[in-house]
Amino acid sequence: MLGNATPAFRFLGLQIYAFLCLRFTMIIGLLNQKGGVGKTTLSLNLAAHYAATLGKRVLLVDADPQGSAQAWSNAREEPPLFPVIGMAKPSLHRDLPDMAKDYDVTVIDGAPRVSELGRAAILASDFVLIPVQPSPFDVWATDEIVRLIQEAQQFKPDIRAAFAINRRIVNTAIGRDVMEAFAGLPFPVLPQVIGQRVIFAETAARGLTVAEAAPKSEAAREIAALANAILNPSEGSLS
């Protein structure tokens, strides 16, 4: 009896596992009203890690009227790792879910400054990653995105958010003044910091990412750590 039941249970287990895998979708918004903090750089590199290294179905949404992610895609000579679609619209949160359900991970590259677009991108996201450079001025300048996220959480309480430090000068510690500026903010700072590395600009210019061009580099390792922390908050990296 048990001999018959075991394969049946195993089959049921596989069915449940397949169902959960099929249902896993996550929308990650990279947002900060401040310009030039690394939203596009991290969006493309995280998306490439999910697609090329983890084999996930990835969609990249360029929600910035500047169209930087689309320009990156146009500069690319290799076959695409993931589709890049332009959607710099205040209706993003209404239009995106239907499209995103066909992908495991959707990454939104957000626009600086325009609150209307920021609001829509936040509402479309399950998780908002706020790239910030390690300077107190940059941390203070996050007050607007923090306010927009808190407003959005009143409509959609399960939106999570965290800061990602980008462009740390290699071999330097994050200053105490920077950590003090973060201390008053309502979202955690991820310990997976991204260093200041020329390879990010060099690869972007060729429509590439660090995961493809230099998979064994320190930059690729840092991106992988950040990407995994976002997907696996239960592993203790997000507070």
Residues that bind ligand ATP (CB under 6 A): 35-41, 64, 66, 68, 112, 166-167, 194, 196-197, 200-201, 204
Q: Which of Mg ion, ligand ATP, none does 164 bind, CB closer than 5 to 8 A by kind?
A: none
Of the pair 104, 109, the CB lying nearest ligand ATP is at 109
* Secondary structure (DSSP) of the chain: -HHHHHHHHHHHHHHHHHHHHHH--EEEEE--SSTTSSHHHHHHHHHHIIIIIT---EEEEE--TT-HHHHHHHH--SPPSS-EEE---TTHHHHHHHHHTTSSEEEEEPPSS-HHHHHHHHHH-SEEEEEE-SSHHHHHTTHHHHHHHHHHHHH-TT-EEEEEEEEEPTT-PPPHHHHHHHHTSSSPBPS--EE--HHHHHHHHTT--HHHH-TTSHHHHHHHHHHHHHH-GGGTT--
Of the pair 45, 68, the CB lying nearest Mg ion is at 68
From the CB of 67, what's the least distance to ligand ATP, in Å? 10
Of the pair 219, 231, the CB lying nearest ligand ATP is at 219
* Binding-site ranges for Mg ion (CB under 5 A): 39-40, 68
From the CB of 103, what's the least distance to ligand ATP, in Å? 21
From the CB of 64, what's the least distance to ligand ATP, in Å? 5
Q: Which of ligand ATP, Mg ion, none does 194 bind, CB closer than 5 to 8 A by kind?
A: ligand ATP
From the CB of 64, what's the least distance to Mg ion, in Å? 5
